[in-house]
Chains A and B, each alone.
Chain A
Amino acid sequence: MISQDKIDEWIREVQERPASAELIIRYIANRLSELSSRADELAADNIELLSGRKVEEYENRIASLEYQLELLKRQFGGEVILPSEVPALKPMVETINLLVYNPLGQVLRLEIDPTSLVSGETLAVLNAQAPPGDTPINLLVTGSREELLFIFDSGRTVAMPVSQVPLSNKVDLDWTQAFIQEPQVKEELAAIQPIAKMTLYETCLQASRRGFVKKMKTSFLASHITENYIGSGVKVRADKTWGITFANKDDAYSLVSQEGYIFSMQVERLPVAIDEVIRLGITDHIVSAFIVGQKPSILFITQNGKAVHRDASWLEAATSFKTKGQALLSRERREGGTRIVGAAPVDDEAWGVFLHGDGAITSYQLRELISSGSIPSGKSSGVVLSFWCFTRPEATPKPNRDRSDQRS
């Protein structure tokens, strides 16, 4: 800051040593010139801010940066994407990519045009029996520019762009034609997780099937991914790796078990070392993990196709670890054999894909299911094996901090 005292001192210097005058004038003139051009820039910025053009420019820049981030993530995973394949700033039409995968590392991919999506439509039929292994067949819906992280139950990981998974036959899906991300000896594929936007989150939460959780910084996860190993997240022998979820420290993290128990806690309070956060019954295991974010409600899907809907405020935050969890199902229904196959936070725009017992993969706008209370009968067999919730992508990528896509 230039105060009057300082100016007086400069004048005294000139009075005592007139030779310094020229130098001092030159320094001040240079600074004035620099400040003057900076003032012009700031005034121009101010005009743009007042006119709203700056906001639009920042929105575009955020979208562009987010897209570049995705590209970097792909390169981070060791993949080289040619600029011609994904032009930098040109808006792309996003397609829906449906992935069906199993513990053997077999992955089937379907590309669906989001504009042609019709609620209640059968997207494909899986012509095969469930593969061996105790993990059910999983579904994943993601954008066409995502980076996928294949997580094996040994803790090993492989990263690749979704576009590198070959497309499957649209009508009949067959495991014999599946792309294989081959597990190593005694290894199973535990989950596939989209990671392109992970740097937008502070934390990654790794859960095991038996309700153990560990928390790590996403910056650490990034360096672990380059080493192709993120850890199994398993502490006890009878447990297995389940999957990861990205979150910020103020988010509430929820785990849902097959028998309908829910654990919810603020991310900041979750353990850094692997710890049992929910104590599950001997036959129970985790089927869903999510962050509610701004979504108003949560939808639970049972194996017989029922849609159980609860407001987000219904979730009770746990005060300690190793709790039994909040019960969704009554004792009678639980003992009657009702089981949860998946759960996710939803809003009016949410869609769901369902894998049925007869192999049919159907999609529904979830608000229809919420109002009817169940998947309409007659389309396919009553048994639901797997469920995934997603939001239809838009043409231009926009930052979205809500986790609308949830594994279940």
Chain B
Amino acid sequence: MGVNVGIDFGTSNSGVAIYQGEQIQILPIDTKNIVPEVVKTILYITRDYRTFIGQEAVELYYKQNINRQRHFVKKWTGEIDYHGADMHYVRDVYVYIDELQPGRLMQFIKTALRSEKYTGTQVFDRFYSLSDIISTYLEALKQRAEALIKDEISHVTLGRPVKFSQNPELDQKAQDTLQQAALEAGFKRVEFELEPIAAALYYERSLSKPQNVLIFDFGGGTLDLTIMRLGDPHDRRVYASGGIGIAGSDFDRAIIQNRMLSHFGKGQVQHDPEILNLINTIPDWAALPELSTPLARGALQRAIQAREAPVRLKALESLIFNDLAFSFYNMVETTKITLSTQGAAIAEMKEKDLDIWELYTRLQFEKDILEQRQQIEKVLLDTLSASGLEPAQIDAVVKTGGSSNIPVFIEMLARIFGSEKVKSSDVFNSVTAGLAIRAYQSA
């Protein structure tokens, strides 16, 4: 017989909590992190297949990768059969492999569950399916938690967004993959709870009388909305739920798209499709590290020698070939977070051949995410409409998740429901805590 825990496997951050009927204990799962109760959903696999998560993964990645040497070798990966009407031939396929790469860093793992096409990735000589990647992360999380509580963890209640996908088949497939991963990680029983419901359970503990509550769960990967009746454990009702695959990582991408690409030559490079392709790949965090090939370097160096925006392209070369992608995305995210508390922030990064300085205001940010804001407001109103309730009938709006602190969304909620109703739950831990409550209830 082991312990039951709740795990919030988030897009940006994760957490583990235990509830045994008295007090919820959020485990200090990452002692190296500024907030130890939160662990970054980052996995680093070294060349000898040792695995690291959270801040430890980030630190090791920096130590091993920034400005390191590279050596590319051309490796045969397979062949393609060409069949024509009167011909047939086989062509070999080669890829460039960096022999000196010390490890692979993986971020936004949960986002891959939403993807129809993503099946996994090659990590050195082994292929990791998506289930393998997630199970590797969950296993490390489980081991850390077991070390803290000095007991075996057998059962887990995992959070999941209201919808991984609009397509019910893909949605089910994503949950199955997550379940499979949890079982592979060593959990004997795996249960799921919707993340906003988990957040609601946590909020419910503070209620003295029943309320109609809108849970606005806005994290790194998705926005989940749930309108439910809370306060009486025997009469909980879900009026409506909805969501959209827009969240923090999409805002980061919008900032990069609108404000960062000019630092890498966008607008200056005109008729060079190879270089334009490199520039346009920058917002894609998963694809950027893959650009560091001899072909890309050759193209960049040719363009620099041809005096085609040499300073900007030198910066692009530095970003790609000095393994600065992770620092770059972090810098963008930090700028965005800063704008939640002040009207302007500096997006700044100084590295070899790279000098980004961008004064970024809240107004600019709100302009850059205008389209997403409109979509979010539409989903919010649709969900409200589906619940059959009027805004005035909502007693409280509980916001949780990192992106729920963005002022423009707080203003949106205040405008629709009234500012007095908008309440902030524990931004990072309310879902984890709610999952622990659910795990206790289902034990």
Contacts and interface: CB of A to CB of B under 8 A. Distances in A.
B362 A13 contact: yes
B49 interface: no
A323 interface: no
Given A20-B342, A217-B71, A219-B71, A13 B262 contact: no
In order of increasing CB-CB distance, the 5 nearest A-B pairs are: A20-B343, A13-B361, A13-B363, A17-B343, A24-B344
Interface size class of B (residues with CB under 8 A): 10 to 19
Interface residues of A, number: 18
B385 interface: no
Chain B at the A interface: SS class: mixed
A28 to B, nearest CB: 7
Contact of A19 (B343, B364, B367): B343
A42 interface: no
Interface string A219-240: 1100000000000000000000
A219 B70 CA distance: 11
A219 B69 contact: yes
Nearest to B361: A13
Contacts, number: 44
B254 interface: no
B76 interface: no
Interface of A: 1, 6, 9-10, 12-13, 16-17, 19-20, 23-24, 27-28, 31, 217, 219-220
B71 A10 contact: no
A20 B359 contact: no
Contact of B359 (A27, A217, A219, A220): A27
Given A23-B343, A24-B359, A31-B357, 4 more contacts: A13-B343, A13-B362, A13-B364, A17-B362
B359 A10 contact: yes
9 contacts: A1-B263, A6-B359, A10-B344, A17-B362, A17-B363, A20-B343, A23-B343, A23-B344, A24-B359
A9 B361 contact: yes
Contacts of B363: 9, 12-13, 16-17
Contacts of A219: 69, 71
Contacts of B71: 217, 219-220
Given A13-B344, A27-B346, A20 B361 contact: yes
Contacts of B343: 13, 17, 19-20, 23-24
Contact of B361 (A1, A24, A220): A24
Contacts of B361: 9-10, 13, 20, 24
A220 B71 CA distance: 10
Nearest to A2: B359
B247 to A, nearest CB: 24
